[in-house]
């Protein structure tokens, strides 16, 4: 189906925080919600939304778009198209590209590619260190002052393991309201590691990845952030001990936030028994007890948001033996259904809670203007309409990402995004992506 940029009237949606209501969109802004919304528009595009949940557009703190340099796995265009289909209106594009996004010119290139694609708002993440090398700080100030206005910095894929360098980074970004998003992994404790360290890793003969390798870095960085008075964000938290450490940091008043991934909310280390590298990820899938603790931490607000850690790979990087396989899983198109399945349908969270962890909180952490706003008059028209009743069997061949390294193949998951609206433009229309030139 095609769409236009004319005014939009969404009728009969279940608006999170407001109940069943109509929504009027004009010139990219929500101008009315509730009775009389139709009176605010003349000849709008009408969307019948009976039975659909209206959420603020989803925001991802943690997306790998691979471009520049990794176009065989994903491009900004294909990755952001997948994001739109998944209900996202903004994503943070991680810096581990080739060349690394450690200069103003590279982050501005990623920004431009996102604008040209037009599927979502792309917020480039800048590297903390030059070339992700962990030796010298990257051009943090230049990236912050660039057209991309970078506010999130991360060496994701690698840990800023040097405490002096980490302290300097925290001090530097404090001046312009930035945040360091840390990949918490002590490299000395994880050299050659393949899966969660446990009884099972011994049985399978795969080198173990101890929980303490994550937890020790989190504890250190919380103390550094407290000392400096700066913002720290913990990427892809995965252990029960890590959840406890975030609680500890918040009780002390430290400006620490954390994200959980959908796969750490659903999958366990038992899948390593298949020796299928589709289930190989960094940090690794953990125990059932860890999964339960991460779910509890997300439900009680200890964990602030959900980050997909969407990590596409070319076929050959996963169609191999476990030890040779790349770390990472796709996730943009399955994140919302997994949250519905693990958190909403189980009664752990309400739809308002889901909107908080998948939209409002990541937008606030990343300082993304116009995103994560409540659906009310005056807000930017970034809206996701989801059918919670529809259930679908996951098939990577029917997804819009360029890569097929999806760990959920064959699973039946609830919820399907029917419409995604970005600043008043319909990017997904009746579950089908709408090319920029056809809107």
Question: Catalytic amino acids?
Answer: 309
For 118, 180, 384, the CA distances from 174, given in Å and listed in that order, are 31, 9, 33
Which sign does the torsion angle of CA 51, 57, 61, 64 carry? positive
327 marked among binding-site residues = yes
156 marked among binding-site residues = yes
Task: Identify which of 121, 393, 92 has the alpha carbon closest to the alpha carbon of residue 236.
Answer: 92
310 marked among binding-site residues = no
Q: How far apart are CA 263 and CA 261, in angstroms?
A: 5
96 marked among binding-site residues = yes
Task: Identify which of 160, 127, 167, 122 has the alpha carbon closest to the alpha carbon of residue 143.
Answer: 127
Local structure of residue 5 (DSSP, 8 states): S
What is the three-class DSSP state of 213?
A: helix
405 marked among binding-site residues = no
**Contact criterion met (CB below 8 Å) for 333 and 399:** yes
Q: Phi first, then psi: give them for residue 387, nearest 5 degrees.
A: -90, 105
For residue 25, what is the enclosing H or E element? strand 19-26
Task: Identify which of 311, 343, 354 has the alpha carbon closest to the alpha carbon of residue 156.
Answer: 311
Work out the angle between the directed axes of helices 211-228 and 163-174 (0-180°, nearest 10).
Answer: 40
Distance of CA 13 to the CA centre of its chain: 25
Distance of CA 148 to the CA centre of its chain: 19
Q: How far apart are CA 140 and CA 157, in angstroms?
A: 18
309 marked among binding-site residues = yes
178 marked among binding-site residues = no
Q: Which residues of 400-439 are buried (b: 16+ CB within 10 A; e: fewer)?
A: bbbbbbbbbeebebbbbbbbbbbbbbbbbbeeebbeeeeb
244 marked among binding-site residues = no
282 marked among binding-site residues = yes
Q: Is 283 left (phi over 0), alpha (psi -120 to 50) or beta?
A: beta
65 marked among binding-site residues = yes
Q: Tell me the residue ranges of DSSP E strands in 139-193.
A: 152-153, 179-182
183 marked among binding-site residues = yes
Question: What count of other Cβ atoms lies within 10 Å of the Cβ of residue 39?
Answer: 10
Q: Which residues are documented as binding site for Zn(2+)? A: 62, 64, 156, 183, 236, 309
Q: Which residues are documented as binding site for substrate? A: 64-66, 96, 282, 313, 327-328
Q: Which residues are documented as binding site? A: 62, 64-66, 96, 156, 183, 236, 282, 309, 313, 327-328
């Amino acid at each position: 189906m095609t769409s236009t940029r004319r005014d939009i009237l969404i009728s009969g949606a279940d608006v999170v925080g407001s109940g069943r209501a109509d929504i009027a969109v004009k010139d990219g802004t929500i101008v009315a919600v509730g009775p009389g919304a139709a009176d605010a528009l003349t000849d709008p595009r009408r969307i019948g939304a009976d039975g659909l949940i209206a959420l603020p557009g989803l925001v991802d703190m943690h997306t790998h778009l691979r471009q520049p340099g990794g176009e065989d796995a994903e491009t900004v265009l294909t990755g952001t198209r997948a994001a739109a289909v998944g209900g996202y209106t903004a994503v943070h594009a991680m810096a581990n590209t080739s060349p690394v996004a450690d200069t103003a010119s590279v982050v501005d290139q990623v920004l431009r590619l996102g604008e040209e694609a037009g599927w979502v708002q792309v917020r480039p993440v800048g590297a903390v260190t030059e070339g992700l090398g962990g030796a010298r700080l990257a051009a943090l100030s230049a990236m912050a002052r660039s057209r991309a206005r970078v506010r999130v910095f991360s060496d994701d894929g690698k840990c800023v393991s040097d405490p002096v360098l980490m302290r300097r980074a925290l001090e530097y970004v404090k001046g312009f309201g930035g945040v360091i998003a840390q990949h918490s992994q002590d490299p000395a404790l994880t050299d050659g590691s393949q899966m969660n360290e446990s009884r099972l890793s011994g049985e399978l003969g795969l080198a173990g990845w101890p929980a303490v390798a994550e937890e020790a870095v989190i504890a250190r960085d919380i103390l550094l952030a407290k000392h400096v008075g700066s913002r720290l964000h913990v990427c892809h938290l995965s252990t029960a001990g890590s959840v406890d450490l975030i609680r500890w940091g918040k009780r002390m008043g430290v400006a620490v936030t954390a994200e959980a991934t959908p796969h750490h909310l659903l999958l366990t280390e038992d899948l390593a028994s298949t020796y299928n590298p589709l289930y190989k990820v960094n940090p690794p899938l953990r125990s059932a007890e860890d999964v339960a603790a991460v779910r509890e931490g997300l439900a009680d607000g200890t964990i602030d948001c959900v980050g997909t850690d969407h990590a596409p790979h070319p076929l050959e990087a996963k169609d191999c033996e476990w030890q040779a396989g790349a770390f990472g899983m796709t996730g943009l198109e399955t994140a919302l259904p997994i949250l519905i399945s693990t958190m909403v349908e189980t009664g752990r969270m309400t739809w308002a809670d889901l909107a908080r962890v998948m939209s409002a909180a990541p937008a606030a952490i990343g300082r993304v203007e116009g995103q994560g706003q409540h659906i009310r008059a005056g807000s930017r028209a970034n809206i996701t309409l989801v059918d919670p009743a529809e259930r679908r069997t996951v098939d990577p061949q029917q997804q819009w990402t360029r890569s097929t390294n999806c760990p959920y193949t064959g699973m039946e998951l609830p919820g399907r995004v029917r419409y995604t609206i970005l600043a008043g433009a319909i990017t997904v229309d009746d579950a089908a992506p709408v090319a920029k030139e056809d809107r």
